[in-house]
């Protein structure tokens, strides 16, 4: 377990382009989320940060911003590594994941992470699944595109990964190293679809070290996923992480901006 978590932080350090050398602690969900900040000095923002994620998006805190631009995504990824972090399933990319262009700035796709149930809520609705696409710019700034899912037809992205996720569930018993399975031929076509609506705010990573100044873009279009697919995503996870949504964090005065291509003035 300790090995797995240490590897995870190598992953996050790469993501943030800031080496973390210390030994790191295991974290889990439920009541344990209150303790994240005290697990390790590097995690202190999890308890002291005032601009954290996820948040509740609601009519009361959303403001339409006509200056926001469409999100442009050129995802080229075909080769990726499916990873069981223990706290969640991720799909990691080398530097060929593709590009998100946000306000004229390029961010490279580094990792996709699934959270079930979803972490962000919209108008008090909790969705069963949230996919977070984590991008990092050359200067280290982080931007996340989040996609919410409700129950329905199977999701096409997860369908491609189905057999590999089953494999992960079996590898879990093999030892305590983070399980990795490489994957080629990934089709990301449907992830690139133009989004006519998204919510934007500045928050944090939703896992330790809860790094702040992360730009969030939560897509307004809710997609569908089957119950079976969610069950499969949870199967390989550690006990205590089967429901891997961090509780909602206070906005503390933040407003959530709305981009809406169809907004009528
Ligand atoms: C993707 O993986 C395939 C098969 O392993 C390999 O032939 C190909 O060169 C890889 N593509 C890239 C862009 O790395
Ligand atoms: C940003 O990404 C686009 C699409 O991949 C590319 O055409 C452009 O050259 C990139 N710009 C910079 C500054 O890297
Ligand atoms: C937050 O990120 C933005 C770009 O995403 C950057 O311009 C700004 O300097 C950052 N602020 C801090 C306090 O790191």
Q: Which ligand is nearest to the CA of 95?
A: 1
Where do the structural domains in the chain lie, given as residue ranges? 2-263
Which residue puts its alpha carbon closest to atom 10 of ligand 2? 106
How far apart CA 210 and CA 109 sit, in angstroms, is 19
Could you tell me whether strands 98-102 and 89-92 are parallel, antiparallel, or unpaired per DSSP bridges?
A: unpaired
| pLDDT tens, residue by residue, 162-212 | 999 998 888 755 555 677 898 888 888 777 777 899 999 999 999 999 999
Burial class (CB in 10 A: 0-12, 13-18, 19+), 123: exposed
**Atom 1 of ligand 1, nearest CA residue:** 79
List pocket residues of ligand 2, CB cut-off 6 Å. 74, 99, 101, 106
- Determine the distance separating the centroid of ligand 3 and the alpha carbon of 139, expressed in angstroms: 9
Eight-class DSSP state of 127: P
Q: Helices marked H in the chain — which ranges?
A: 2-16, 36-39, 45-48, 156-171, 227-234
Torsion sign, CA atoms 125, 28, 92, 225 = negative
Test site for ligand 1: of 79, 109, 181, most ligand atoms within 8 A of the Cβ:
79
Q: Residue 117: what pLDDT?
A: 98
- For the stretch 47-96, pLDDT in tens is 999 999 999 999 999 999 999 999 999 988 778 999 998 999 999 997 67
For ligand 3, pick from 144, 213, 215, 254 the residue to mutate: most ligand atoms within 8 Å of CB.
Answer: 213
User: Does residue 24 have a pLDDT over 60?
Assistant: no
Please tell me the residue having the least CA distance from ligand 3 atom 14.
213
144 neighbors 202 (Cβ within 8 angstroms): no
Question: What average pLDDT does this structure show over 13-31?
Answer: 58
Axis-axis angle for helices 227-234, 156-171 (nearest 10): 30
The CA distance from 134 to 118, in Å, is 15
The three-point CA angle 211-123-117 to 5° equals: 55
Smallest CA-to-CA distance from 88 within 131, 122, 56 is with 131
Are 54 and 132 in contact by the 8 Å Cβ rule? The answer is no
What's the pTM?
0.89
Pick the CATH number of 2-263 from 1.20.1250.20, 3.30.390.30, 3.10.200.10, 3.40.50.300: 3.10.200.10
Q: What integer pLDDT is reported at residue 58 of this predicted model?
A: 96
Report which bound ligand comes closest to the CA of 107. 2
What ligand 2 atom has the least distance to the C-alpha of 106? Answer: 1
User: 162 φ, ψ to 5°?
Assistant: -45, -55
> Exposed, middle or buried: residue 250 (CB in 10 Å: 0-12, 13-18, 19+)?
exposed
What φ, ψ does residue 177 adopt, rounded to 5°?
-80, 155
């Amino acid at each position: 377990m300790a090995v797995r978590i240490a590897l995870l932080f190598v992953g996050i350090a790469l993501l943030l382009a800031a080496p973390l050398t210390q030994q790191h602690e295991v974290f889990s969900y439920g009541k344990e989320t209150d303790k994240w900040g005290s697990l390790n000095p590097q995690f202190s923002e999890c308890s002291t940060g005032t601009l954290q994620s996820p948040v509740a998006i609601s009519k009361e805190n959303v403001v339409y911003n006509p200056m926001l631009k469409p999100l442009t995504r050129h995802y080229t990824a075909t080769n990726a590594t499916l990873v069981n972090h223990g706290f969640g399933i991720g799909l990691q990319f080398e530097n060929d994941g593709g590009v998100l262009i946000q306000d004229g700035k390029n961010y490279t796709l580094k990792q996709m992470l699934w959270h079930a149930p979803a972490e962000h809520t919209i108008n008090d609705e909790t969705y069963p699944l949230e996919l977070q696409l984590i991008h990092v710019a050359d200067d280290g700034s982080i931007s996340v595109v989040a996609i919410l899912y409700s129950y329905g037809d199977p999701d096409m992205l997860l369908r491609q990964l189905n057999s590999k996720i089953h494999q992960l569930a079996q590898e879990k018993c093999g030892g305590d190293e983070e399980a990795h399975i490489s994957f080629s031929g990934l089709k990301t076509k449907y992830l690139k679809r133009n989004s006519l609506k998204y919510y934007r705010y500045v928050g944090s990573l939703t896992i330790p070290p809860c790094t702040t100044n992360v730009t969030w873009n939560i897509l307004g279009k809710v997609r569908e996923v089957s119950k079976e697919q969610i069950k499969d995503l949870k199967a390989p996870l550690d006990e205590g992480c089967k429901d891997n949504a961090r509780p909602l964090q206070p906005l503390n005065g933040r407003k959530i901006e709305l981009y809406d291509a169809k907004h009528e003035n």
